[in-house]
Chain A
Amino acid sequence: MIKKAFPIFFLLLTIMVTYYAMILTDFKLNTLKKGLHDSYFFIEQMFPPSWEDFKDLWNPALETVALALLGTFLGTILSLIIAFFGASNLTNKWVKQIVRSLISVERSIPELFILLILIAAYGLGALSAVLALMIGCIGMLGKLFADAIEETPVSVIESLKAAGASKVQIIYFGILPDLFPKLISYSLFRFEINIRLSVLLGAIGAGGIGYELDYAFSMLQFHRALSCLIVVLVLVIAIEQISLYIRKKLSISQL
């Protein structure tokens, strides 16, 4: 009897919580309806895209890709170095605990917030954005790499240690070869995320296609804004497909 009442109880609870959240956020169905109408009007205004603007958007688009590429590359190297200190089979448990918790802390900080801090330090521009993307990698890649390194059997490390190898040699000869496919695959996945992030960071002032988009909107050049949106869409989809293709190839060669 009590067991049967559980689903109903949870349903009622969910409805109550949702209702409370609607009050808190001042969410009204009427506003939603009006907003829908407005946004339809807004989108209508944007069509058609301005075709002659596409040639100006080529360079900003490349800039966005370059930001993401550089941020991911530097971030991968940084994460890898950190991951070696966060893998239990390479360090003692205290260092591991500290490094792992630092990685978790980084993961909980949004990239936007990191960028805002960096802007205060380095000013508005591409450098801040690259650094923000780089630091943003640590939370995700650092954890994934450290977990992958921990999959290396203890016997591999012990046998090289027994042969007299130094720690750097153990990492270079014993761990990196087996880690390589995962290293590439995880970095590519992060690159996909960083492309989207770099559009967003661009809008804040780092430059690139995100900046063009924001600028077009604020200048009320809606046709140009739509062109920017199309470029972003094509960019994201293209890079996701390329990355997916390479990652699939890698996972096959891993067998």
Chain B
Amino acid sequence: MIKAVGLTKQLKNGKFLLNNISFEVVKGEFVGILGASGAGKTLTLKSLIGLLELTSGEVWVEETSNQHINIYQTKTSILKKLRSKIALIFQGYHLVQRATTLENVLMGRLGSVSTWRTLFFGFNENEKKEALIALERVNMQSFATTRVNALSGGEKQRVAIARALFQQPRLLLADEPISNLDPKNAKIIMALLKELSNFFPVIGVFHQPELCAKYCTRIIAIKEGKLYYDGEPNLDEKTLEDIYGEELSSILT
């Protein structure tokens, strides 16, 4: 579970990038964040993991079943531990290109293993086995020894998800995970994310309202830094027009 309370980011010139955004996401939910370019989607996502310095606001993350921690008011050592339990997926460009698929998946757990052990002994057989299982879940096990730079965009994104899975997260955040994929691969990734939301909350930033309507369980729309809509994934034409304005025609293809 993750709970954002009054996320606000104000620039020195008084302009609001985020303006009092609050929501709560629980297990079983696959939340799609929609909004026009520059509305504050990615900033909202980044603030959920503490990568953005907020003007005010709180982000509560579950540490144990009944204990919650505000990640903006905790020690860095605890923050690091919390982060190792939050998986983050970008557009697939965050993988190490010359390392193999398996090695990239193993990197998901660097936060929970000591630096010296990873440097001198690498990962043990057990961890490698688990990483292979994670690759199997995204149907990439046959590429385990392939270097990432030899993979296609869709395959890279699946490896990124396998890394996130291997991290054994309590929360999965995805920043435009399907933006550079063809429609077929986009659907595969969306179906995977939906399946994963049965185990932990999944929050993603998307540019595709039709796909979100099909796969997400809930939509959060942000307009000019404000929470504009929070609810059912099926948005009617009028709401979409309000969210995207002039951009709408370029998004509905």
Q: Which residues of A contact B (CB under 8 A)?
A: 153, 155-156, 158-166, 168-169, 172-174, 177-178, 180-181
Contact mask B71-90 → A, CB, 8 Å, 1/0? 00000000011011011101
Interface string of B83-117 (1 = CB under 8 A from A): 11011101101111111000100011111100100
A164 close to B112 (CB less than 8 A):
yes
B88 cross-chain contacts in A, Cβ below 8 A: 158-159, 162-163
Point out the residues of chain B lying under 8 angstroms from A178, CB to CB. 96-99
Contact B99–A173 (Cβ < 8 Å): yes
**B96 and A169 within 8 A (CB):** no
CA distance A155 to B46 in the complex (A): 12
B90 touches A159 (CB 8 A): yes
A180–B99 Cα distance when bound, in Å, is 11
Q: Known contacts A162-B51, A163-B87, A178-B98; is A173 also within 8 Å of B93 by CB?
A: no
Given known contacts A155-B90, A169-B118, A160 and B110 CB-to-CB distance under 8 angstroms: yes
Contact with A along B33-53 (1 / 0, CB 8 A): 000000000000000010100
Known contacts A174-B107, A178-B98; can you find 11 more A-B pairs with CB under 8 A? A153-B93, A155-B93, A156-B95, A162-B86, A163-B108, A164-B110, A164-B112, A165-B110, A169-B110, A173-B96, A177-B103
B50 to chain A, nearest CB (A): 9
Q: Is the CB of B107 within 8 A of A163?
A: yes
List of A residues within 8 angstroms of B84 by Cβ: 163-164
A-B contact pairs, 5 of them (CB 8 A): A156-B93, A162-B83, A163-B83, A164-B110, A165-B107
B167 on the A face (CB < 8 A): yes
- Check B87 against A166 for contact (C-beta < 8 Å): no
Contacts of A162 in B (CB 8 A): 49, 51, 83, 86, 88
Contact at B118–A172, with CB atoms within 8 Å?
yes
Does B252 belong to the interface (CB within 8 Å)? no
B11 within 8 Å of A by Cβ? no
Contact partner of A164 (CB less than 8 A), chosen from B94, B97, B99, B111, is B111
A166 & B96 in contact (Cβ 8 Å cutoff): no
Q: Which residues of A contact B96 (CB under 8 A)?
A: 156, 173-174, 177-178
Residues on the B chain within 8 Å of A161, using CB: 83
Q: Which residues of the other chain, A, contact B119 by a CB distance below 8 angstroms?
A: 168-169, 172
Contacts of B93 in A (CB 8 A): 153, 155-156
How distant is the Cα of A166 from the Cα of B108 in the complex, in angstroms?
Answer: 12
Q: Report B169-194 CB contacts with A as 1/0, cut-off 8 Å.
A: 00000000000000000000000000
Verify B107–A164 contact, CB threshold 8 A: no
The 6 A-B residue pairs whose C-beta atoms are closest, nearest first, are A164-B111, A164-B84, A165-B110, A159-B94, A155-B94, A162-B88
Determine the residue in chain A with the shortest Cβ distance to B82: A164
| CB atoms of B115 and A156 under 8 A apart | no
Q: Indicate if the CB atoms of B90 and A169 lie closer than 8 Å.
A: no
Closest Cβ of chain B to A220, distance in Å, is: 56
Q: How far is the CB of A89 from chain B (nearest CB, A)?
A: 13
Given contacts A155-B90, A159-B88, contact A165 B98 (CB under 8 A): no
> Given the complex of chains A and B, what is the CA–CA distance between A178 and B103 in angstroms?
13
Q: Which of B51, B91, B167 lies in contact with A158, CB distance below 8 A?
A: B51
Which residues of the other chain, A, contact B118 by a CB distance below 8 angstroms?
169, 172-173
Residue of B nearest to A175 (CB): B96
Query: Considering the chains assembled together, what is the distance between the CA atoms of A116 and B97 in angstroms?
Result: 44
Residue of B nearest to A157 (CB): B94
Q: Give chain A nearest CB distance to B122 CB in angstroms.
A: 10
Instruction: Give bound CA distance, A181 to B80, whole Å.
Output: 32
**A168, chain B: closest CB distance, angstroms:** 5
A69 to chain B, nearest CB (A): 26
Given contact pairs A158-B51, A169-B118, A163 touches B110 in the complex (Cβ within 8 A): yes
